[in-house]
Amino acid sequence: MLRRTAIVAIACVSMVYGARALAAQTVASAADPTSHDIRPGYGVTETRWLSDYLPALANTAGDTPIYLMRGDMEGGTLLLFGGTHGNEIAGVMAATLMVERGTVSQGTVIVIPHANNSAAQRNDGARHSGTPQWFELTTASGEARRFRYGSRLTAVGDQDPDPEVFVHPLGGEIAGSEARNLNRNHPGKANGTLTEQISYALFQLAAKESVDVVIDMHESSVTSRLAHMVVCHPRAMEVGAMAVLDLEMDGIALKQEVSQQEFRGLSHREFGDHTDALAFLVETPNPGQEDSIEEPDVVNDPEAPLSGRVHTHLRAVKAILDSYGFTVPADGKIEIGFPFSLDALKGSDLGTFLR
């Protein structure tokens, strides 16, 4: 029955995409949501849009698909998203792999591969001029699939010009361009800029779906102190510590850091402060953010291949959920799985695991 529901859901999202594409031809608006090659698997039971949680986002560059994966057993709810920054592709591809090949046996997992879809439109080259607009992955059948390599910030044309200084409503002043950084705008505003509206919709989703765990997947430069790190809201430190220890026992070394109150607008702080969820942010090293590498290979870098970075993200997600399961009653757990060992991702071609 679950598989049949998933097939219906996939058909429905195709119809939705088609309807929106037809509407786009009529409106001819450059602000329509960017589309992506994501092929939902049998684990997906329903597809929605972020605008379902804030109608003002409909037919804007900030709208983005949401994939719901419900298990047969009642349990907790995970909100898992990548693409807060469109150039941090390991999080995008980890979320994509979850949608295409993942399953949920207990609880509900809500996956958003492109949290800031405006940032996914194109690579503005601001972080590294040597990074591509697209990257390709070859599937097991030999099909070459293309994926966008986006930007860190909401596209310039999608919201008002940057202020000279961006002042977060909860305190703190940073560069004006950060007004387009989704991970500096949480918890957002219903009537704010496009970036603030995207954030607000994510928080509406978390509240309406009674989300228990939030995991935001990011990437940093190879030499950044943030590389190989899990940032945890203070309420999530115990679960995070257990997860980091479990990963270390399996040879995956991640540092743990507590979210600081003075750094406002970040997901790991604001989801923890403004919702009941335990909030985490996972960072992997992306050679495309390393200034010392003139021509970065964002897919096949020998030290930090994309498949290895996706492996780290998904193993971290699994470890966090397993550790969370020890802190809640049996009917509150969240259980995910894949038809292959996640460790098989290491040293492999990521495309061979996609649909």
User: What does each of the 355 residues of the chain score in pLDDT, given as a tens digit?
Assistant: 434 334 334 444 443 444 343 333 322 234 689 999 999 999 999 999 999 999 999 999 999 999 999 999 999 999 999 999 999 999 999 999 999 999 999 999 999 999 999 999 999 998 899 999 999 999 999 999 999 999 999 999 999 999 999 999 998 899 999 999 999 999 999 999 999 999 999 999 999 999 999 999 999 999 999 999 999 999 999 999 999 999 999 999 999 999 998 889 999 999 999 999 999 999 999 999 999 999 999 999 999 999 999 999 999 999 999 999 999 999 999 999 999 999 999 999 999 999 9
Q: Domain span at residue 195?
A: 2-353
The pLDDT score that the predictor gives to residue 8 is: 38
- In the chain, the number of structural domains is 1
**Rounded alpha-carbon distances, angstroms, from residue 239 to 21, 65, 277:** 43, 29, 12
**Rounded alpha-carbon distances, angstroms, from residue 337 to 69, 143, 334:** 12, 25, 10
pTM: 0.91
Structural contact between residues 39 and 355, judged by C-beta atoms closer than 8 angstroms: yes
Nearest to 77 by CA among 251, 335, 296, 254: 335
The pLDDT score that the predictor gives to residue 34 is: 94
| Pairing assessment for the beta strands 65-70 and 144-148 based on DSSP bridges | unpaired
Residue type, 205: L
Structural contact between residues 61 and 139, judged by C-beta atoms closer than 8 angstroms: no
The pLDDT score that the predictor gives to residue 263 is: 86
* DSSP-derived 3-state class of residue 157: helix
CA–CA separation, 10 vs 43, rounded Å? 10
CA–CA separation, 134 vs 114, rounded Å? 15
Bridge-partner residues for 138, per DSSP? 144
Helix runs in the chain, H state only: 2-27, 89-101, 194-208, 237-249, 267-274, 306-325
The two tokens of residue 224 are 């950044």
The pLDDT score that the predictor gives to residue 239 is: 99
CA–CA separation, 205 vs 200, rounded Å? 9
Supply the CATH number for residue 129's domain.
Answer: 3.40.630
**By 3-state DSSP, what share of the chain in percent is helix, strand and coil, each rounded to 5?**
35, 20, 45
Backbone phi and psi for residue 90, each to the nearest 5 degrees, phi listed first: -65, -40
CA–CA separation, 249 vs 123, rounded Å? 38
Backbone phi and psi for residue 313, each to the nearest 5 degrees, phi listed first: -60, -50
